[in-house]
Amino acid sequence: MNEIIESIKKSTIEIQKIIAKGDMGKSEEQNSTGDTQLKLDIISDVVIENNFKLLTCVKQIVSEEQENIVNINKDGEYLIAYDPLDGSSLVDVNLSVGSIYGIFKNNFTGNNIIASVYVVFGPRVEMVVCDGETVKLYRMQNEEFNYIKDIKMDQKGTIKSPGSTQQCWYPHHKEMINEMFEDNYNLTYSGGMVPDLHHILLRGGGLFSYPGTSDKSKGKLRQLFEVFPFAHIFETAGGGATDGKQRVLEIETTHIHDTSPCFFGSNDEINRVITKYKNI
């Protein structure tokens, strides 16, 4: 596992340099979910893939930017799913972006995730590592990753980050978000999953939601690359992650690019979601 974390650190240092150079041209290629890939996504993907390919402990990798699983070493122990640069279009407007990694054993399913990592590229570069027992925050300085603290969530937070648009929200979801406004939650939504969830984690609580909507009944966020790693992190930090009906990590995966509705937060807010979605 240590080898994998070291490889992620190496990729992070390389990606940070690429972002700082400021190459933001659009590429002609599209990824499997139809987004137009930006050059930064592609370059970051290549950096990460090349570094993982050096590790004998890795059996397979799969990237959000690629159609298929890549075989590395048939005798390797670990499977890694990653989103090389989530929200990469936000670099154009100088907002934070991030990389997300889920490390699995046996197969790419929620109940087989054993570790998760994400990296935020913002005013600072920070890395959060979850081994299933603790969630640790590191900060990059001079290409070193210094331990800052363990992240633990409170019972209740003060922030809400509601994904998608009101036009596409189902009535019960709209009702829940309106109730949160009435209960004095602050609205915060950058449009980047990594910084938005990082915000909630570091503030100790709140709710990030990306529900099923009238245009995307299964939500937008990808299970392997986005939803499972963050569910693992939120649960380990003492919060929770649900799709409204069940724990996110119990959702069945039928295809590597499956999406699912998801809610991440502290326990009070997750209970609020479960209550609201119970009879839907």
- Smallest distance, ligand FDP to C-beta of residue 225, A: 8
Helix 2-21, helix 39-52: angle, nearest 10: 150
- Smallest distance, ligand FDP to C-beta of residue 216, A: 9
Residue showing the smallest CB distance to ligand FDP in the complex: 193
- CA torsion through residues 246, 222, 52, 231, sign: negative
- CA torsion through residues 150, 105, 209, 276, sign: negative
- Smallest distance, ligand FDP to C-beta of residue 147, A: 26
Cβ-Cβ contacts under 8 Å for 137 (sequence gap 6 or more): 126, 127, 128, 147, 148, 149, 150, 151, 202
Binding residues vs ligand FDP (CB under 6 A) = 86-87, 89, 163-164, 191-193, 196, 220-221, 226
242 close to 274: Cβ distance less than 8 angstroms? yes
Of 180 and 193, the one with the shorter C-beta distance to ligand FDP is: 193
- Smallest distance, ligand FDP to C-beta of residue 278, A: 25
Of 78 and 225, the one with the shorter C-beta distance to ligand FDP is: 225
Of 192 and 205, the one with the shorter C-beta distance to ligand FDP is: 192
Query: What DSSP element (H or E) covers 6?
Result: helix 2-21
Of 87 and 244, the one with the shorter C-beta distance to ligand FDP is: 87
Of 87 and 240, the one with the shorter C-beta distance to ligand FDP is: 87
Of 65 and 235, the one with the shorter C-beta distance to ligand FDP is: 65
DSSP conformational letter for 280:
-
- Smallest distance, ligand FDP to C-beta of residue 280, A: 21
231 close to 264: Cβ distance less than 8 angstroms? yes
163 close to 220: Cβ distance less than 8 angstroms? yes
- Smallest distance, ligand FDP to C-beta of residue 82, A: 13
Of 51 and 96, the one with the shorter C-beta distance to ligand FDP is: 96
Which single residue is written with the structure tokens 């709140």?
A: 206
Count CA atoms within 13 Å of residue 81 on its CB side.
28
- Smallest distance, ligand FDP to C-beta of residue 222, A: 7
